[in-house]
């Protein structure tokens, strides 16, 4: 046998396709897959959340209070109660036992937790200038309870984490990639919830004071240091300016009256 | 700027992927150029997987020669492979890695045989191993090792 050395021109062992094109296909597939999971889980979680009786939620809230005892804030409670009193008779919110807490933190935020617990950060209270503004914020949180967003959020978050861990294993890189993509969907969904809660808050504020004055004041103050709208794509809340525009549109649509706001009363000024 | 900081891990992934892609593909192109050039140089050194039998007196001496190489994946290849883990199919991003490792290992074996004055290598075997197993797991980097070994034969003159 004669050995003739020969250099092969073609390499059959390496695929010819461009890696960036492969990346595009795979990423597209991932977004589609995760979107589908999110949609299915979301529908299930929303359905389940709407079926949970308020009694069960109140019980959860009481268990949480036993674990983390905290003092309720009386001045805030008075404001909340007057808002609840102006709700219609058949409102779901009358079944709740609300507890409102003031937490010392520079963060400008308020939270609605399962079981009718509302947490207001002192950083937010320091920013508030009028009774109407505060009522708008509290009414917004009540809106979350009315739409049962806290339960839905809990259900979705839990479902997504469990699904990702089950499908790809808890420690795998694929699972963390999937949950990161999901967070983007979550942000979009949560922005919709915030807008819906804003609308609820506006209606309740108008019912309480007879006019919509002060509804957008708090957000206008936020806009000053909010900056560009672009980074808000990934956050849980919409850009303040977007919220103001949406509120103003509803005020116009419903012909709400705008009147002068009431300054904060002495019991709340003590926290400033 | 704030949102950049908030999504810091996402930014890191993006930067590493871009870095991995540019540096990784540059390194790969350079490596392939060098592989093809050296393969041409060493073309005369015959390598066969057959055991080979020689008439008595033909073989002057024989020795074991081996060449091995370890090649690491880059972040971009890893990202593609992780995505492949979800959907299944050919992990194309690792194909060139294994190809480079095997050809480089054979080249190194041939170079070592040439240094010993050998005319050919018979009974060549190739083996591949992973270093840093489960490369697609979080926080781990994988590499591939290829080792080629065979019997270098020095023929008697005449």
| Yes or no, beta carbons of A19 and B92 under 8 Å apart | yes
Residue A228 near chain B (CB below 8 Å): no
Exposure letters B45-70 (e unless 16+ CB within 10 A, then b): bbbeeeeeeeeeeebeebeebbbbbe
Residue B136 pLDDT > 60: no
Residue A228: per-residue pLDDT? 64
What are the sequence ranges of the domains in chain A? 26-269
* Least confident interval from A48-52, A217-221, A223-227, B121-125: A223-227
Closest by Cβ to A15, choosing from B90, B137, B138: B90
Residue A23: per-residue pLDDT? 92
Vertex B125: Cα angle to B122 and B129 (nearest 5): 160
pLDDT tens for each residue of A69-105: 677 888 888 888 888 888 888 888 888 888 888 888 8
Residue A215: per-residue pLDDT? 85
Residues A217, A219, A223, A228, Cα dihedral to 10°: -150
Closest by Cβ to A7, choosing from B43, B83, B95: B43
ipTM of the complex: 0.77
Domains of chain B are 2-155 (3.30.110.70)
DSSP result, chain B: -HHHHHTHHHHHHHHHHHHHHHHHHHHHHHHHHHHHHHHHHTTTSEE-SS-----TT-EEEEEEEEEEEEEE--HHHHHHHHHHHHH-S--HHHHHHHHHHHHHHHHHHHHHHHHTT-SEEEEEEEEEEEESS-TTBTT---EEEEEEEEEEEEEPP-
Residues A18, A23, A25, A30, Cα dihedral to 10°: 170
Cβ neighbours, 10 Å, residue A221: 16
Residue B62 near chain A (CB below 8 Å): no
A30 contact residues in B (CB cutoff 8 A):
83, 86
| Yes or no, beta carbons of B83 and A180 under 8 Å apart | no
Residue B3: per-residue pLDDT? 60
Q: Which of residues 139-158 of B touch A (CB under 8 A)?
A: none
Number of A–B residue contacts, CB under 8 Å: 84
A172 contact residues in B (CB cutoff 8 A):
85, 136-138
B121 contact residues in A (CB cutoff 8 A):
none
CA atoms within 13 A on the CB side of B40: 6
* Predicted confidence band of residue B140 (pLDDT cuts 50, 70, 90): low
* B92 min Cα distance to partner chain A (Å): 6
Instruction: Write the CB contacts of B102 (distance below 8 Å, at least 6 apart in sequence).
Output: B126, B128, B146, B148
Mean pLDDT across B20-47: 94
Best of B29, B82, B100 to substitute, by most chain A Cβ atoms within 10 angstroms, is B82
What is the bridge-based pairing of β-strands B46-47 and A110-113?
A: unpaired
Closest by Cβ to B83, choosing from A3, A26, A235: A26
Rounded-to-integer distance, Cα B103 and Cα B107, Å:
6
Residue B139 pLDDT > 80: no
Residues A227, A233, A234, A240, Cα dihedral to 10°: 50
A231 contact residues in B (CB cutoff 8 A):
2-4
What is the bridge-based pairing of β-strands B120-131 and B46-47?
A: parallel
Instruction: Write the CB contacts of A99 (distance below 8 Å, at least 6 apart in sequence).
Output: A61, A65, A72, A116, A117, A118
pLDDT tens for each residue of A111-157: 787 778 888 888 888 888 888 888 999 999 899 888 888 777 767 76
pLDDT tens for each residue of A159-201: 766 776 776 665 666 666 666 666 666 666 678 888 889 999 9
Residue A180 near chain B (CB below 8 Å): yes
Q: What share of chain A is helix, strand, coil (3-state, %, to 5)?
A: 65, 5, 30
Tokens of A204: 């309740």
pLDDT tens for each residue of A205-239: 888 888 888 888 888 888 776 666 655 665 677 88
Residue A233: per-residue pLDDT? 61
A177 contact residues in B (CB cutoff 8 A):
82-83
Instruction: Write the CB contacts of A132 (distance below 8 Å, at least 6 apart in sequence).
Output: A205, A209, A213, A214, A215, A217, A261, A262
Residue B70: per-residue pLDDT? 94
Instruction: Write the CB contacts of A87 (distance below 8 Å, at least 6 apart in sequence).
Output: A93, A94, A204, A207
Tokens of A193: 């919830």
Average pLDDT, rounded, for chain A: 81
């Amino acid at each position: 046998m004669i050995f003739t050395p020969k250099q092969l021109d073609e390499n059959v062992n390496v695929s010819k396709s461009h890696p960036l094109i492969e990346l595009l296909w795979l990423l597209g597939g991932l977004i589609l897959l995760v979107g589908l999971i999110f949609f299915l889980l979301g529908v299930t979680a929303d359905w389940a959340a709407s079926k949970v009786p308020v009694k069960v939620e109140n019980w959860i809230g009481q268990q949480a209070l036993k674990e983390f005892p905290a003092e309720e804030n009386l001045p805030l409670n008075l404001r909340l109660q007057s808002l609840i009193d102006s709700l219609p008779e058949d409102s779901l919110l009358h079944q709740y036992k609300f507890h409102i807490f003031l937490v010392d933190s520079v963060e400008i935020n308020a939270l609605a937790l399962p079981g009718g617990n509302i947490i207001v950060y002192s950083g937010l209270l320091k920013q508030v200038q009028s009774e109407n503004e505060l009522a708008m914020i509290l009414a917004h949180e009540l809106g979350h309870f009315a739409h049962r967003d806290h339960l839905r959020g809990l259900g979705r978050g839990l479902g997504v984490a469990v699904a990702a861990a089950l499908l790809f294993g808890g420690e795998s890189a694929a699972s963390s990639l999937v949950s990161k993509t999901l967070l983007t969907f979550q942000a979009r969904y949560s922005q919709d919830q915030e807008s819906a809660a804003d609308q609820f808050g506006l209606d309740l504020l108008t019912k309480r004071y007879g006019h919509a004055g002060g509804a957008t004041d708090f957000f206008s103050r936020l806009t000053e240091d909010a900056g560009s709208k672009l980074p808000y794509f990934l956050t849980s809340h919409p850009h303040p300016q977007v919220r103001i525009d949406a509120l103003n549109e509803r005020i116009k649509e419903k012909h709400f009256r705008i009147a002068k706001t009431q300054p904060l009363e002495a019991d709340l000024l003590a926290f400033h | 700027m704030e949102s950049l900081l908030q999504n810091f891990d996402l930014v890191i992934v993006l930067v590493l992927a871009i870095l991995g892609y540019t540096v990784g593909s540059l390194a790969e192109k350079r490596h392939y150029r060098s592989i093809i050039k050296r393969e041409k140089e060493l073309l005369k050194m015959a390598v066969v997987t057959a055991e080979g039998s020689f008439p008595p007196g033909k073989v002057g001496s024989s020795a074991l020669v081996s060449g091995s190489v370890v090649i690491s994946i880059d972040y971009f290849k890893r990202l593609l492979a992780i995505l492949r883990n979800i959907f299944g199919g050919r992990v194309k991003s690792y194909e060139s890695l294994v190809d480079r490792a095997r050809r480089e290992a054979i080249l190194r074996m041939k170079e070592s045989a040439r240094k010993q004055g050998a005319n050919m290598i018979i009974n060549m075997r190739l083996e591949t191993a992973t270093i840093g197993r489960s490369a697609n797991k979080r926080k781990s980097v994988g590499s591939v090792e290829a080792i080629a070994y065979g019997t270098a034969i020095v023929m008697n003159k005449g």
